[in-house]
Amino acid sequence: MNLPPEIMYEASFNKNPDFEGVFWMGVKTTGIFCRPNCTARKPKFENVEFFANTKDAILKGYRPCKICKPLENPNETPPEIKNILEELSHNPAQKLKDFDLIQRGVEPATVRRWFQKNHGITFHAFQRMFRLNTAFKKLQQGENILETAYDSGFESLSGFNESFKNIFGISPKNSKTQRIIDLKRIETPLGTMYAAAVAEGICMLEFTDRKMLETEFKDLAKSLNAVITLGENPHFEVLDKELTAYFKGELQSFSVPVFPVGTEFQKSVWKVLTQIPYGETWSYRKQAELLGDAKKVRAVANANGLNKISIMIPCHRVIGSNGKLTGYGGGIWRKQKLLELEKTILL
């Protein structure tokens, strides 16, 4: 951690979210330590000290703040929700009601709040979308509409048709003219990510707290003329395993295919990104030079910022000509952590 204490104190005083994960601040007068964006009242500069990780703060005798909860990942999926999602992925046709949740030792109100907060829909709507995603794929494989409707847990063909049309904008019999993009949450040590995939490969991998994420979803759906729905995809299983290996320092290149969506120029910029060796950093200027025009630094930087497939298309490996870290959609602190991970493994 090379940041001056004055910079960290200012970031903490201003509750700057860009420094989340970069440092933690211990307050000597209270014996607690906080995140940089903690909403608690900030102490004087002489009464604080900074840590590069929570372990060091705890070893120094500090207790985690009860307000900002520095030991927790605020976007991480709770274990009980993970179990429910796993169960649904194995049997999309089932309908879990409040009684079923209680039988599993889960409070229904907790489940409802989590799905509203993280998916913007009710748990009931989530299950219905998951069932319809599976039904869509069955129909595209040529299965019978009536059998698919009942196999998907719908009690009537009319109810299935109406729900199908509400989600995909077309009737089941016209489903072969439509395309879907599967969406799933994936947990990583740096936070929860959204993965989106089509048959060709992964077309999005972004942290769930990325700014303008909703706009990215809309652009992706429009570009592919598709509907984004929560559902499973064969690429997700491989991606999950490879991301786990990557963060453990056991994998330097991904085998799961990517399907970047953008203009031809953007795709050319992203292709250069994949040429940056693991553990190294390039400048935007070098990127532009490899594209044949050193004057296109600004255009290259803009294209990097529009990359929707984080980590796999490693825009985090591009830094300023002066050696400083520059903008990153997932937050500067994540860029720093990713670079630290890759350089540490090579040592």
Segments in 2-78 forming alpha helices (H): 5-13, 54-59
How far apart CA 332 and CA 7 sit, in angstroms, is 14
Q: Which of 34, 38, 68, 315 is catalytic?
A: 315
Name the one residue in this structure whose structure tokens are 């540490």: 344
CA–CA distance, 229 with 167 (Å, rounded to integer):
8
DSSP assignment, residue 110?
A: H
Closest CA to 228 of 161, 81, 330, 129: 129
Our CA angle for 36, 205, 214, nearest 5°, is: 75
Neighbours of 182 (CB within 10 A): 23
Q: How far apart are CA 309 and CA 211, in angstroms?
A: 15
Chain centroid offset of residue 279 CA: 22
CB 139 within 8 A of CB 133: no
Closest Cα to residue 254, out of 181, 195, 313, 300? Answer: 313
Beta bridge partners of 181: 228
User: Has 34 been annotated as catalytic?
Assistant: no
Report the catalytic residues.
Answer: 315
